[in-house]
Structure 1
Amino acid sequence: MIPSLTRRSFLGSSALGGAGLLTAGCTPARVASASTKPVCLPRVNVAPERVIRHLVGLRPYRASGFVVRAEQMGGTKLVHNYGHGGAGITLSWGSSKLAVDLGLPGHKGPVAVIGAGIMGLTTARLAQEAGHAVTIYADALPPDTTSNIAGGQWHPFGLFDKDAVTPEWRRQYLAAADYSWRRFQIMVGDDYGIHWLPTYTERTQPETPLFDTFPPENRILRADEHPFPVESAGRYITLYVETGRFLRQMLRDIQIAGGRIEVRKLGTGDIGGLPERLVFNCTGLGARDLVGDQELRPARGQLAVLLPQPEIGYAFAGRAGYMFPRPDGIMLGGTFELDNWSLTPDPATAERILKSHRQFFDAFRC
């Protein structure tokens, strides 16, 4: 069972770390007194009339971690790439690299990808870069995918239960994270909606490094170095992805490179009937029905999105929730509710998210 924890404490326990959604509603802790006036940052205006939409997404959570493995189905090789919890954006390029490295060697001819979320699009693009023709089969395309609802922070979250994973899986996870971290860096800019941002967290120790280069500029701040109404805060730098823009551009890239897209819902019995002899299963939570993976559980997340504030050039995560600023809106999270299949925004949850963030930003010490 996953306890109700802040994003950062959860990262250090059951997840080691898109971009997930927090349990909101806690009142910020009292801050220790500072001897000098704290550095100020612009406040987010959390006014109800600034809300532009409420979003709900179901993350594909597996206690034993995401799946990258191959199996033979008659004359078809099926490679699985699903189950990334709240780390789908973060691990997308790396997990898809593991999948194509498993499936492509020795294969000649076209390939199929099932699913058009972040895993499907990155898998398709890597297969194209390796010289293969690609057809994507999906019953939903961006912007109607779960990936479109992700907060977009590059930081693994809500991914696994630390007691349920193996050392072999951890090595796979770190390899995926390392490749993905480097791949996103070469895509930074407005074209794909990827930008660096300083990120502040409510914590007493620096972030636990995932590997040597992540996270950069990782340290605990003095009380006079931040305005937040918390006992202790940390700061590091990471990437943020404007998911709508990123997914649109990826879809264009695939089509420009000759990729075909067929809007079609596939069942298990349809896989062997596809003309492609190599198929990548990137269906996320849909793999529960497609291939019978009953370990997959929905982890429901809800967001409140505010009008953009261009002056907000930082992100924050703590007991109040998380705030990720993007050009398309300020993302306020949220929840991590296992086994809740509802896609309807809950008004009470929305109010808790807004209330906790409003209290937090109104209590700035400058």
Structure 2
Amino acid sequence: MIVVGGGIAGLTTAVLLAESGRRVRVWARESAERTTSAVAGGLWWPYRIEPEPLVGAWALHSLTVYEELAARPAETGVRLLEGVHQGARLNELGPWAGRVPGLRAVADGLAARLPVIDMPVHLAWLRERLVKAGGTVEEREVTDLNAVPATVVVNCAGLGARALVPDPAVRPVRGQLVVVENPGVTTWFTSVDHSSAASAYFIPQPGGLLLGGTAEEDDWSLEPDPDTAAAIVARCAAARPEIAGARVLAHRVGLRPARDAVRLERRPLPGGRTVVHNYGHGGAGITVAWGCAHEAATLAHPTA
């Protein structure tokens, strides 16, 4: 069995398949450290992903896994941190929100203790877990699903699915972040207007404080824009003034694989073979990773 894609979706799906006794190879165009997953902020929360009824179940499944992994933060990269979603309201969210432990209304939004994932550490841990289960990871670009030499192919190509499937419904939503030296911030914060391409959020990670962000639809540029970076810092500093003087450590850009709805289904390939699609997770690939991986693994072997 071959899993195409080495980001969060591909690795979690491969881990579950390998640990169920399957022989799994991951074929990835680039190493996990160079994927969109690696530059993500890493806060668990459904964001820019549809359809909501299914997303809620996938996200809650993943939340349970992350809560368990948070017992070993140095190993897994997962911690539980308090924070506030400014402007969010419970009655504007789906039924899933009522099942998030400790999610509560506060004066300016919703507060909770949620998983925050240090993605470089987490991706390395996933890869090590896969190898321990007998799986392998190869840097190998796939340009034709029909040419992949496996009875079952699992397509976790993310934005790459646009050309690979091909599926023109997959499109980029560009996100830019600024990493600064943490001036003492210990909680996460978001203030997101879904009708705007600009937002404000900060997430403390071991390597610095991650500041965001943007959601620029159909923008393929991976080059950080200096004006955008300055605006991000200014928006975050409006919430925490000490951020304004923090030393900039790095700039990051990632392209979220947006789609009107996640594609998670089993389809036939020529020669009696099968492809399971698991892509189009938008801005919530980390949030739904384990729930989608569980469903994808079941689809790959429905009798298992």
Q: How does the TM-score come out when normalised to structure 1?
A: 0.60
Give the drift of 1:206: 4.1
One-letter amino acid matched to 2:122: F
Identify the residue that residue 3 of structure 2 maps to in structure 1: 113
Aligned residue for 1:344, secondary structure, equals: coil
Give the drift of 1:255: 1.5
Q: Confirm or deny: 8 A CA contact 1:215 1:237 kept in the other structure.
A: no
Q: Distance in 2 between matches of 1:156 and 1:267?
A: 30
Identify the residue that residue 218 of structure 1 maps to in structure 2: 103
The equivalences for 1:229-308 within 5 A come to 232-268=108-144, 271-308=145-182
Aligned residue for 2:237, secondary structure, equals: helix
Identify the residue that residue 84 of structure 2 maps to in structure 1: 200
Give the drift of 1:253: 1.2
Give the drift of 1:326: 0.9
Q: Distance in 2 between matches of 1:260 and 1:204?
A: 42
Q: Confirm or deny: 8 A CA contact 2:5 2:155 kept in the other structure.
A: yes
| Higher share of residues assigned helix | 2
Q: Distance in 1 between matches of 2:33 and 2:181?
A: 19
Q: What is the CA deviation profile of residues 289-311 of structure 1, one whole-angstrom value per residue up to 9, with x for unaligned ones?
A: 000100111000000011245x4
Give the drift of 1:325: 0.6
Q: Distance in 2 between matches of 1:119 and 1:233?
A: 30
Structure 1: runs of 5+ lacking an equivalent: 1-110, 161-168, 223-231
Give the drift of 1:186: 1.7
Give the drift of 1:203: 2.2
One-letter amino acid matched to 1:353: I
Identify the residue that residue 257 of structure 2 maps to in structure 1: none
One-letter amino acid matched to 1:295: A
- Of residues 166, 172, 175, the one that matches 2:57 is 175
Greater Rg by CA: 1
Q: Distance in 2 between matches of 1:112 and 1:316?
A: 38
| Higher share of residues assigned strand | 2
Structure 2: runs of 5+ lacking an equivalent: 193-198, 244-304
% identical equivalent positions: 32
Identify the residue that residue 40 of structure 1 maps to in structure 2: none
One-letter amino acid matched to 1:307: E
Structure 1 pair 234–263 and aligned structure 2 pair: CA distance change class (3 A): closer
Matched, 1:347 2:229: no
Q: Confirm or deny: 8 A CA contact 1:308 1:327 kept in the other structure.
A: no
Structure 1 pair 217–260 and aligned structure 2 pair: CA distance change class (3 A): closer
After the TM superposition, which of the residue ranges 281-290 and 192-201 deviates more from structure 2? 192-201
Identify the residue that residue 285 of structure 2 maps to in structure 1: none
Q: Confirm or deny: 8 A CA contact 2:57 2:96 kept in the other structure.
A: no
Matched, 1:321 2:173: no
After the TM superposition, which of the residue ranges 245-254 and 213-222 deviates more from structure 2? 213-222
Q: Distance in 1 between matches of 2:239 and 2:55?
A: 34
Higher relative contact order (CA 8 A, sep 6+): 1
Q: Distance in 2 between matches of 1:363 and 1:260?
A: 45
One-letter amino acid matched to 2:161: A
Structure 1 pair 219–176 and aligned structure 2 pair: CA distance change class (3 A): closer
Aligned length: 234
Identify the residue that residue 281 of structure 2 maps to in structure 1: none
Q: Distance in 2 between matches of 1:205 and 1:181?
A: 20
Q: How does the TM-score come out when normalised to structure 2?
A: 0.71
